[in-house]
Structure 1
C-alpha cells in the first residue's frame, strides 16, 4: 500500500537536557514528532510531508535541511521573510517534563495564511493530521480556514486525524479553546486525545465519557491515550482496552503521545486493525520515553530492518 501522510503544525527549536548542565539542540513540535514516528513506521511506498512555515534565516535553513535529510517532505513548507522558528526548552524532574517557550513571533503562526497552498497540500494527501496546538497558534481566520479544508477532506473520504493536545496557555480564553477544539474534532474522522487533558479541561469523568463526547460530534473513531493505564480504542465499531508497555524508569516523556499517534496511524493504514495498531504504538511509545528528547533515532525503536 502507498499514499501520502500530511502533518500540519509548528516545528520549533528544541533545547533538551544533555547532562552536566549542558543542553542539546534539536528540532521538535507535536505534529513534527508525529510525522517523525509515522515516517519511521510507514513503508517506503508512503510519502510523509510536513506543512508549516519557516523564516528566511539560518535556523530555518537548518530546520528545512533536517526535514529533507530524514525524508520528511518540504514541498509544502512556506518561507516568510523576516521570520524565524519558535524555541522551547525542556526541564526534567524524575522523567516528567516542563517547558519554557519563546514562540510569539514564530513563522509557523502564518502557516495557513495561503489558502491555495493549504488546499493543494490537503488535496494531494491521503492522511491529514493536525492538533489543538496547530489551531491555537493561528489567527481566528486562519484556524477557520484550516478547519474548512479538513472538513472538505473528511467529506471526500480522507483520513483526517486530530489530537486535541490541550495547552490552555496558547489560547486567548477557555471559551475559545473549548469552541475551537470542539470544531477540530467535529471536522475529523479520528480523534486521538489524552485522557488527563480531557478530564482536566472538559470535565470528563471517565475515558468512556471522552469517547462518547467526541463520537457525538461526528468522529468515527476515538483513540484515548491514558498513560500507564494504556489506551481505549473505539474504532470501526469495535472497542478494546490496550495495556501500556511497562517501563521501569522513564527518562523523558516529552513525545510519548506524539510517537503513539504516528506509530498508530502508520500501522492502522496498513492493517486496518485498530487494536493491533494500538499495541504496536504502545511499544513504540515505551521505547521513546526511555531516551532524551522528542525525536529518537529510528534504530532505537526496535523496528525490523528495511
Structure 2
C-alpha cells in the first residue's frame, strides 16, 4: 500500500431539515470518522490506502465496511468485535457555520483496539502512516496500539504524518490532552495543526512560533491551517504561506481538515514542493465544505487538478490569522 491509517469510523445520521436535533424527524445515513475520511480521500486520488480498526458485529459495522470497500480502501486489518458495538452519531443541518454533532461512541469496538489486535506487517507494508489524535483520546488501549504502530513504521524507515484533530470533550483533562497529543506529534515527519489547535498545544497563536515548537523537537514539516484563506508552512530550510481557494457558499465544514491533510500529504508523497502540496490541501478543503457529509466532496486526481487550475484563490495579502483568543476548550471539535 501507499498509505495506511487507523481509527474509529461511525455511522452518521445527517438531519434532512434545519433545526435542533431533537426536533428533526428525518435523517440520511452516511459514514463518519476522520481516519475513514482520509482513507477515502487518498483512495479517490489513486493511492492504495488502507484503514485499520475494529467494528461491532452489527448493522452499523457492516455499513462502515461496505462503504469503505466501495471506495476501494483496503480493510485487511479490520476486525469484528462480537461483544462491543459500532459507534454512531447525529449531525444537524445548518444554513451556515458548523453543524451540531452528538456522538454515541462510549465503549465502542474501535475504542478497545489494543496491541493484541496489531498486525505489524500490515502497517509496514505501506510506505506512509497517517494518523490523528482522535484514537488517542478514546482509550489507553488505543494509545498503546498507536505507539507500537509508530515504532513499527520507524523500524522500517516509513514516513508519518499527524493531524491533531483535537476533541476536548473526549479527554479526562486539558493537560492530559496536550501532553499526549504532543508526545505523538513530535514522532511524526509532518504535523498539521489548525491555528486554534496550535494555540492550545503550544500556548502561542503565532504560526511561526507554533511551527518552531515542533521543529525544535525533530518534526520535519509543520503546516498550520489559517482558515479559509490559506496555510502557513515551515521546515528547517524554508517557510511561507499558501493562499486558499475562494468559496462562495459553505454548506458543511466537517471533513475540510481531513481533506486538507489528504491533499497536502498526497502531494508530499508525490515529491511535489511544499507549496504545491499545500495547494492541493487547500483545494480539497474548499471542495469539502461545498457538500453535505464529511468526505462526499473529496475529488479524484483529475477533479483536483481542474480545481487548482481554474478556481480563484485569495490574494496572498488577504491571508490573515484567525483570532483564537476566545477559544472555548469545552467545544467538541477543534479545527
Aligned-residue offset at 1:202 = 3.8
Distance 2:39 2:62 in 1: 19
CA RMSD in angstroms, aligned pairs only = 2.1
Would you say the 8 A contact 2:56–2:85 is kept in 1?
yes
Would you say the 8 A contact 2:211–2:222 is kept in 1?
yes
Would you say the 8 A contact 2:230–2:241 is kept in 1?
yes
Distance 1:133 1:81 in 2: 23
Aligned length: 298
Aligned-residue offset at 1:26 = 0.6
Please, which of 24, 32, 35 is the counterpart of residue 36 of structure 2?
Answer: 32
Would you say the 8 A contact 1:151–1:187 is kept in 2?
no
Would you say the 8 A contact 1:54–1:77 is kept in 2?
yes
Distance 1:145 1:33 in 2: 20
Distance 1:197 1:297 in 2: 24
Paired position in structure 2 for 1:233: 233
Distance 1:80 1:237 in 2: 47
Within 5 Å, give how 1:106-145 maps onto structure 2.
106-114=108-116, 116-117=118-119, 119-139=120-140, 141-145=141-145
Distance 2:99 2:297 in 1: 20
Aligned-residue offset at 1:81 = 1.0
Paired position in structure 2 for 1:87: 88
Q: Which aligned segments of 4 or more residues in structure 1 are displaced greater than 4 angstroms?
A: 297-301
Aligned-residue offset at 1:228 = 2.4
Deviations for 1:49-92, whole angstroms, at most 9, x for unmatched residues? 10111111222112111111110111011111122211112233
Distance 2:198 2:9 in 1: 24
The more displaced of 128-137 and 197-206 is: 197-206
Would you say the 8 A contact 1:154–1:189 is kept in 2?
no
Paired position in structure 1 for 2:174: 174
Aligned-residue offset at 1:236 = 6.8
When normalised by structure 2's length, the TM-score is 0.82
Q: 1:209 to 1:236 in 2, by over 3 A?
A: closer
- Helix, strand or coil: the match of 1:281? helix
- Helix, strand or coil: the match of 2:228? helix
Paired position in structure 1 for 2:5: 7
Would you say the 8 A contact 1:154–1:187 is kept in 2?
no
Paired position in structure 2 for 1:19: 17
Paired position in structure 2 for 1:103: 105
Distance 1:224 1:300 in 2: 24
Any stretches of 5+ residues in structure 2 without a counterpart? 19-23, 307-335
- Helix, strand or coil: the match of 2:211? helix
Distance 1:276 1:142 in 2: 34
Aligned-residue offset at 1:12 = 0.9
Any stretches of 5+ residues in structure 1 without a counterpart? none
- Helix, strand or coil: the match of 1:247? coil
Aligned-residue offset at 1:154 = 3.0
Deviations for 1:237-283, whole angstroms, at most 9, x for unmatched residues? 32220111111221110011001101221222113321101112211
Paired position in structure 2 for 1:208: 208
Distance 1:34 1:116 in 2: 20
- Helix, strand or coil: the match of 2:223? strand
- Helix, strand or coil: the match of 2:234? strand
Aligned-residue offset at 1:220 = 1.0
Would you say the 8 A contact 1:267–1:277 is kept in 2?
yes
- Helix, strand or coil: the match of 1:181? helix
Would you say the 8 A contact 2:115–2:148 is kept in 1?
no
Would you say the 8 A contact 2:198–2:224 is kept in 1?
no
